Structure 1
Amino acid sequence: MSKFSEGWYLIYTKPKHEKKVCTRLTELRIVSFLPTRKSLRKWHDRKKYIDEPLFPSYVFVYLTDLQSYYHSIDIDGSLFYVRTGNIITRISEATINNIKLITHNAETVEVSEAYFCPGQKLVIAEGALAGLSCELVRYNDKQTLLVRMDLLKRNLLLTLPAGYLTCA
């Protein structure tokens, strides 16, 4: 890593190690962010809501220096940083803020890897998600809001009342 730039980056982890990596980063005083959603799990004898990662095998990390870079990659369970070519990919602050807004304020959030044709561009005008850009698409025979996460090649699907939206 020749030139370091402070900011948000993305660590790819072993499957089911996201929470362990995030906890260990916190112990090392490295800022991390693991977006989660509530999911209803069914077993043969019970049902329970659990917090599961919104993006399985990914943890967002705020690196301030090279030392935090090396400490974070040495954690058991972390595999590598997401790269574009030879350079680790930096995540914009706006993207992190959008994910935080969605996970804290939207009631239902789904993640999809499917391709969606571009929809009508909208901006959320009211509520806690005000200012967030999104698209209106058809999903499961319903009008749904789509927020594209190009770096992860995934889309966030959420629902909001129509009164909260304005044209972009």
Structure 2
Amino acid sequence: MIYTKPRHEKKVHNQLTDFRITSFLPSKKVLRTWCDRRRYVEEPLFPSYVFIYLNDRQTYTRSLDMQGSLSYVRLGKEIARVSDAEVNNIRLATIQRSDITVSDGFFETGRKVVISRGALKGLSCEIVEYDHKKKLLVRVSLLQRNILISIPEHYLIPI
């Protein structure tokens, strides 16, 4: 995962794509209001972070040379790694671009479920209560963030 300058996530992601480096920038649609108009814009789900797949040393050095990239996220001296399952869950969660909330709050472990149908089929998550409503929770442990989504309960299968 690359840490970027503020508001440079899309630029870094596009440069990585141009160099054929596999990367992922989760985003959400947000309604913005200006004095004369309202418009939906895409914003990064995790500001200043771009997920990247490193497969060799050349990819590592090339991605640091991108304009706007600052460094790799590290845990001690090691580059932090996000599991493929976690990235897949984030990818599935961002398919349904409406009603996504990102929180850094602490949530007790909820009932584990898998979504059985719809656009989010295969997503493994937990059910928790947030703002007095039941929501699906996808944990992103490395960033200490949680993605909260609303979905009909009849789509869920307990694990």
Which TM-score band (shorter chain)? over 0.9
Q: Residue in 1 aligned with 2:37? A: 46
Letter of the aligned partner of 2:54 in structure 1? L
Say if 2:69 is the partner of 1:91.
Answer: no
| Mapped partners of 1:42, 1:88: distance in 2 | 39
| Mapped partners of 2:99, 2:84: distance in 1 | 23
Q: Return the offset for 1:106.
A: 5.4
Deviations 1:67-100 (A, max 9, x none): 1100101112111111111010122221222111
Q: Contact between 1:111 and 1:155, CA under 8 Å: does it hold in 2? A: yes
Letter of the aligned partner of 1:125 in structure 2? S
| Mapped partners of 2:18, 2:43: distance in 1 | 21
Q: Residue in 1 aligned with 2:20? A: 29
Give runs of ≥4 in structure 1 deviating > 6 Å: none
Unaligned runs of 5+ in 2: none
Letter of the aligned partner of 1:12 in structure 2? Y
Q: Residue in 2 aligned with 1:152? A: 143
Q: Contact between 1:106 and 1:158, CA under 8 Å: does it hold in 2? A: no
**What SS does structure 2 have at the residue aligned with 1:90?**
coil
Q: Contact between 1:106 and 1:159, CA under 8 Å: does it hold in 2? A: no
Letter of the aligned partner of 2:128 in structure 1? V
CA RMSD of aligned residues (A): 1.3
Q: Return the offset for 1:130.
A: 2.5
Q: Residue in 2 aligned with 1:69? A: 60
Q: Which stretch of the first structure deviates more once superposed, 45-54 or 116-125? A: 116-125
Q: Return the offset for 1:101.
A: 1.2
Q: Residue in 2 aligned with 1:19? A: 10
| Mapped partners of 2:97, 2:88: distance in 1 | 14
* Pairs aligned (count): 159
Q: Residue in 2 aligned with 1:3? A: none
Say if 2:103 is the partner of 1:101.
Answer: no
The TM-score with structure 2 as length reference comes to 0.94
**What SS does structure 2 have at the residue aligned with 1:105?**
coil
Q: Contact between 2:113 and 2:158, CA under 8 Å: does it hold in 1? A: yes
Deviations 1:119-164 (A, max 9, x none): 2222222223223221111111111111111011000000111100
Q: Return the offset for 1:107.
A: 3.5
Q: Return the offset for 1:49.
A: 0.3
Q: Aligned to 1:140, which of 116, 131, 146?
A: 131
Q: Return the offset for 1:108.
A: 1.9
Q: Aligned to 1:128, which of 113, 119, 125?
A: 119
**What SS does structure 2 have at the residue aligned with 1:91?**
coil
